[in-house]
Chain A
Amino acid sequence: MTERPAMIAYTIFGANDLEKALAFYDRLMAFLGGKRTMEFGSLVYYGFGRGAMFAVGKPYDKQPATHGNGAMIALNVGSKEKVHAAHELALKLGAADEGAPGPRVGNGFYGAYFRDLDGNKLCVFTMVKDQG
């Protein structure tokens, strides 16, 4: 067995209405170049061809899904234009705005924030040299 270095391989966000959540993520992830790669029980995984997978599913303990506070998944989408378009698409699909696209922190980080239909927080961002 080849030993590969450790890494975050996947993340899971909980969903209460899985069908609605998947309709949301099918559209959003497709826009970002992601697609469904695996399904286990209620868990549906989206892959991007590299890096970690993003999964959505019902909680393992059968209790209602709740979003965390402090918990977030950030997707590097490659360009400012894509940040704007992904944020806009998410809101169109029913996401709640948590921060309009713009420079943050001051180190070239350009991002936008929103919550999915279950309140899970996401960020779409890109690193730019010139924020002009």
Chain B
Amino acid sequence: MIGYTTIGAKDLAKALGFYDTLLAEIGGKRVMETPNGQLYGFAQGPLFGVTKPYDGKVQNCGNGNMIALRCPSKEKVDAFYAKAISLGGSDEGKPGDRGGGFYGAYFRDLDGNKLCAFTMASA
């Protein structure tokens, strides 16, 4: 199973400021410091890591990469997305139905890493 994920940050302090506030919105909090960054944990599932690149070179978010966070409700998706944008994240798709009961929103963090917040709505 997936144990954890990491995304890269150019300015780690800024990135952690962003994620401290953002992930708290859905119950995520710091659980472990790593040599180059920080792991956040939720009530369940993989840990979410934010780190400086291991090779010491410039961070890059890659294209085609994304981490999707399931939220408890549409309201939480909306609030989480709004929080991300207010913290300096950039819009990649406003909250809405994407078909099949999938209600999601997309944004990029301060370093361009793409995230999705979604919930599966019944009817």
Could you tell me which A residues sit within 8 Å of B by CB distance?
1, 3-15, 48-52, 54, 57-61, 63-76, 105, 118, 120, 125
| Known contacts A6-B43, A7-B44, A73-B2; A66/B68 CB under 8 A | no
A100 → chain B closest CB, angstroms: 15
Per-residue CB contact flags for chain B residues 1-42 toward chain A (1 = under 8 Å, else 0) read 111111111000000000000000011100000110000001
Please state if B71 and A8 are interface contacts (CB–CB under 8 Å).
no
Could you tell me which B residues sit within 8 Å of A by CB distance?
1-9, 26-28, 34-35, 42-46, 48-49, 51-55, 57-73, 76, 113, 118, 121-122
A-B contact pairs, 21 of them (CB 8 A): A4-B70, A6-B43, A6-B71, A9-B70, A11-B67, A12-B64, A13-B65, A14-B62, A50-B1, A51-B2, A63-B63, A66-B60, A66-B62, A66-B63, A68-B7, A69-B8, A70-B7, A71-B61, A73-B2, A75-B3, A120-B65
Question: Pick the contact of A6 from B59, B63, B72 — CB < 8 Å?
Answer: B72
Instruction: Count A/B pairs, Cβ under 8 Å.
Output: 153
Please state if B8 and A6 are interface contacts (CB–CB under 8 Å).
no
Give the interface SS of chain B, mostly helix, strand, loop or mixed.
Answer: loop
Please state if A48 and B62 are interface contacts (CB–CB under 8 Å).
no
Please state if B8 and A51 are interface contacts (CB–CB under 8 Å).
no
Please state if A8 and B67 are interface contacts (CB–CB under 8 Å).
yes
Complex CA gap A125/B46 in Å reads 13
Please state if B64 and A65 are interface contacts (CB–CB under 8 Å).
yes
A80 → chain B closest CB, angstroms: 15
Residue of A nearest to B80 (CB): A6
